A and B are shown apart, each in its own frame.
Chain A
């Protein structure tokens, strides 16, 4: 579904992505894990075309999307839930959700939009209760739900989730991940960037491990959970000097 080859991106003169290749198959939940600054969010921003990539190719459903505008990418069916939610704080919950469906706004589509909104409410009942509330006054978890709901309103084929657990209470994080599992069961393809490696690897099919702009490891989620490097670096387990024992 999504295929990236040799992606290179620079912030100024600093190379932040170095030859990144990855792929996501339809119906998969794939995760990118890695330390702060490894380039995980940059990859998502490249896919959404929010930042340009210097070299490399991004294909979505066989179509090259390198030169496309961010709007065009959304129209193709890729929607990103940005890091830190980025909801329209002064607007109400309802208005935020309606904006998510901006691609097909108009009288003719009112029915289908209402349908999608009902789907979002069934996923996140709390949003239905707060329809007229100013979204900036929602709690962190509710804001994250709203951000995901807003993205779903665009009827994406591929959902990009950037750090959905950031700054949330563990209980809420579990709820969010539970939603991801539900969405996947409904056939949505998801690429998810996460610092909470252990939690995300429990729900993902596959994962890529990033380090300073490079992919250093990939595998099924269960393989990565068992991998010593991943345990050391991201699950906070046994760390000793690497050179130990080397002649």
Chain B
């Protein structure tokens, strides 16, 4: 495996260095070129890539192949004003399909299953990958649609869905809806679920498995860059197997960026080995995790990733979507013509469901004596947020007095969820 990884790493570096000015300059600034990488250990000497770098090279700056070779373009929310754009060649899509198929197979899903894919619109990219992955293992797939939750439950019931692919929050929502509709989950054909997008604690896995007659597996992916099948859980549930033939994972100290030893917890850094259109060299995911290389009793030789809840940066994950506080600021400044009212964002639970709520202070920056104008402001902010994030949001105008408690946290996103 190490020979394969080294060969692929070296050719990825050669391609990125030759075709992507950003990586060329990055390595140049570090006084290096791809020939400096003689072993997998040398990778840690290369410069890191951040989410901000993806935004700065908007839209096509990081593509390593000509546009005419690209067959799909994905967009995800970025950290600033620019979204993150990534591209895929035919062979990239085939590689993702294979990885998604691996994670479905590891979750026990097979050609005999009827798979229902439910995501919020913000994760439509993943839904597309799952559709292809499910088709690759010849399962019957019900692709993501914009149906309301009750309709999803109806589909699940009537179409006899046997495997569910969604986020933990969405699964909780489905459970609640079943209770409301008086459907006994045990009467469903549902047997397996692959939940991803948010870290799944053992507690919430246990409570969902108690509510639904399913065996739940999880997987790991990035919503903005490549896709959903980077690492996946096997039956043993002892960590997520990383697709090491396509990625190299490192764990670094988020403060000093020094590499950490196996087993230590830090920030996950990923390097692609086979991506043609959108290679990533030491991309800082911002996710906390540890890595173990010991063998697994399922006989898969891939190293295992142990995701830890919480992040090393300011990003907040809501229903699988990553939200950077800067994005709200960007939206606000665009809508309020420079006079940005003080605001705080909250992420909390509303009946088991993650919800983003923005409080805007009713002050001179946005005050108007006409209710209509204020209502319009609230409405447009909400619509903008929902459009760029693809998840529901709420906006409230509050009295200056109410905001006093948060005066030192203005412009931030406050996480009020119990599980972080």
Contacts and interface: CB of A to CB of B under 8 A. Distances in A.
A22 B37 contact: no
Contacts of A6: 38-39
B35 A23 contact: no
A218 to B, nearest CB: 6
User: Which of B6, B7, B18 has most chain A Cβ within 10 Å?
Assistant: B7
Chain A: interface size category: 20 to 34
A66 to B, nearest CB: 15
Given A18-B35, A223-B91, A228-B69, A246 B11 contact: no
Contact of B89 (A228, A240, A242): A228
B63 interface: yes
Interface in B1-58: 3-4, 6-8, 10-11, 14-15, 18-19, 34-35, 37-39
Contact of A245 (B6, B7, B67): B67
Contacts of A5: 3, 6, 38
Given A5-B6, A19-B34, A246-B67, A217 B11 contact: yes
Interface in A175-220: 208, 211, 214-219
A23 B3 contact: yes
Contacts of B68: 228, 238, 240, 244-245
Contact of B65 (A215, A229, A238): A229
Contacts of B10: 19, 21, 214-215
A5 B91 CA distance: 26
A3 interface: yes
Nearest to A59: B3
Interface string B274-289: 0010000000000000
A3 B3 contact: yes
B59 interface: yes
A227 interface: yes
Interface residues of B, number: 29
User: Which of B6, B65, B66 has most chain A Cβ within 10 Å?
Assistant: B66
User: Which of B8, B10, B15, B19 has most chain A Cβ within 10 Å?
Assistant: B10
Interface in A1-47: 3, 5-6, 8, 18-19, 21-23
Contacts of A129: none
Contacts of A216: 11, 14-15, 18
A243 B89 CA distance: 16
Contacts, number: 76
B186 interface: no
Dominant secondary structure at the A interface: strand
A150 B65 CA distance: 44
B159 to A, nearest CB: 36
Contacts of B69: 228-229
A40 B159 CA distance: 57
Contacts of B7: 21-23, 215, 218
Contacts of B59: 247
B129 to A, nearest CB: 19
B61 interface: yes
B41 to A, nearest CB: 13
B302 interface: no
B60 A215 contact: no
B34 A214 contact: yes
B145 interface: no
Interface of B: 3-4, 6-8, 10-11, 14-15, 18-19, 34-35, 37-39, 59-61, 63, 65-69, 89-91, 276
Given A22-B7, A214-B34, A229-B65, 15 more contacts: A3-B3, A5-B6, A5-B38, A19-B37, A23-B3, A23-B4, A215-B10, A216-B15, A226-B90, A227-B91, A229-B69, A238-B68, A243-B66, A245-B67, A246-B63
Which 7 A/B pairs are nearest by Cβ-Cβ distance? A245-B67, A228-B69, A19-B35, A214-B14, A6-B38, A21-B7, A216-B14
15 contacts: A3-B3, A6-B39, A21-B6, A23-B4, A208-B11, A216-B14, A226-B90, A228-B66, A228-B68, A228-B69, A244-B67, A245-B68, A246-B60, A246-B61, A246-B67
